[in-house]
Amino acid sequence: MMRTPAFVVIAEFQVKPGKLQAFLEAARDDAKHSLADEPGCRQFDVICPEGADDTVVFYEVYDSRAAFDTHLETPHLERFRRAFPPLIVEERPVRFAERQHP
């Protein structure tokens, strides 16, 4: 049986010194509600890469581009969009991909 590739979103943020915990709190709220409230959200990881103390990466997996578009209209994403700008130095370009496995 062939599965449709999932739609992947990779977002990366450079957080201001001393603001990581506040940023992570806002990020966790968005991730938690994305998974709980959006049937099309399969996975939402909030990642802090080793050796990059000021960087946070989101790895999000959706059933489709349409499911991601639905995510863009949610109240929890709006809360995150209001919360994060004063906490970051830079939001790097978002990358989109198709997950081929699993």
β-pairing, 6-15 with 88-99? Answer: antiparallel
CA distance 20 to 23: 5
Decide if 75 is inside a domain. yes
With 0-12 / 13-18 / 19 or more C-beta atoms within 10 angstroms meaning exposed / middle / buried, residue 74 is middle
Range of the domain at 50: 16-99
User: Structure pTM?
Assistant: 0.93
User: CATH number for the domain including 48?
Assistant: 3.30.70.100
Per-residue pLDDT of the chain (102 residues; tens, 9 = 90+): 557 789 999 999 999 999 999 999 999 999 999 999 999 999 999 999 999 989 999 999 999 999 999 999 999 999 999 999 999 999 999 999 999 888
Cβ atoms of 12 and 36 closer than 8 Å:
no
Task: Classify residue 1: in a domain, yes or no.
Answer: no
In a domain, 6, yes or no: no
Phi/psi at 51 (5° precision): 80, 5
Number of domains in the chain: 1
Task: List, in order, residues 6 or more apart from 21 with CB less than 8 Å away.
Answer: none
